[in-house]
Amino acid sequence: MGAAAVFYGALVTFIPWPIPEPDLPASVNSVLAEAANAAVAAYRTARRMLTRPELSEEVAMGADGTPTMRVDSLVEDAIAESAQSNQVNLLSEEAGFIDNGSSTTLVIDPLDGSANAASGVPLSCFSGVLTRDSIAVEAMTVWLDTGRVWWAKVGQSTPYRTTGRTTLDGAAVSLLRPKRNNGEAWQRVAARAGRLRILGTTCLETALVAEGSVDAFADPGSDTLRIVDLAAALVLVPAAGGAVIDARGRPLDFDPDLTRRWSGIAAATSALADQLAEAVLG
């Protein structure tokens, strides 16, 4: 019994499942590809070497004003090294803006869904956007536990297509969890949706909008999302026929000020995005 207890205890303490190599498209920019590979390698190593409590330990306060888990820090550090070796700037939720003297900036959420990643829930991702002079040119999201990749380049066709849904009533919607400041708005959206999901990873959820797996994703009025949460969606979703807006009509731009927040909506169509915004605002 002692050996069995140790074995099963290890499975509970560590996350035993392997992290696959990402299925990167051949034409992805090398800067974005190397950043993604760095994120995958760092996350794989962290899961192999650290227990769940160690992965989730808060080790710092991020530039966005939220606590940084150890797993966040390890993955972000690996990406920062990649960005520096490629001589591009970096904008990330933990480190903030790192100026490497380039007109190109890599805007990343190094590990979106950190709580999922640290506990072994297989819903977390790397998400990155290349910008030149603050204009997005290319985006990629990598689902870390599966190796699935969503990629799009501004001005080029993409194989993804949204569902094309135009109405909120009966729609499949992913939402941020309800918070103290948006309970009524959350309920208004929930009452009209046909199916709800709360996955805890905005970047992955907006990628699912782009590929047509769900009709929409929304932060229903809590003003939680930063530009790093929405950056990839701003490329992936419109390329697939959808729309990304702020529920309150504020412009979404690549500002390095990570204290700015939005109630972002990614939807299959502009009509659905507008209906969601109306429901949020009441």
Q: How confident is the model at residue 64 (pLDDT cuts 50, 70, 90)?
A: confident
Task: State the binding site.
Answer: 93, 109, 111-112, 229
CB hemisphere CA count around 66 (13 angstroms): 17
| Res 7: pLDDT | 42
Q: Does 12 have pLDDT greater than 90?
A: no
Task: State the binding site for Mg(2+).
Answer: 93, 109, 111-112, 229
Tens-digit pLDDT profile for residues 65-124: 888 999 999 999 999 999 999 999 999 988 999 999 999 999 999 999 999 999 999 999
Q: 177-183 — which CB contacts under 8 Å span 24+ positions?
A: 178/220, 179/222, 179/224, 181/221, 181/222, 181/223, 182/220, 182/221, 182/222, 182/280
pTM of the prediction?
A: 0.93
Q: Does 255 have pLDDT greater than 60?
A: yes
The span from the CA of 188 to the CA of 216, in Å, is 15
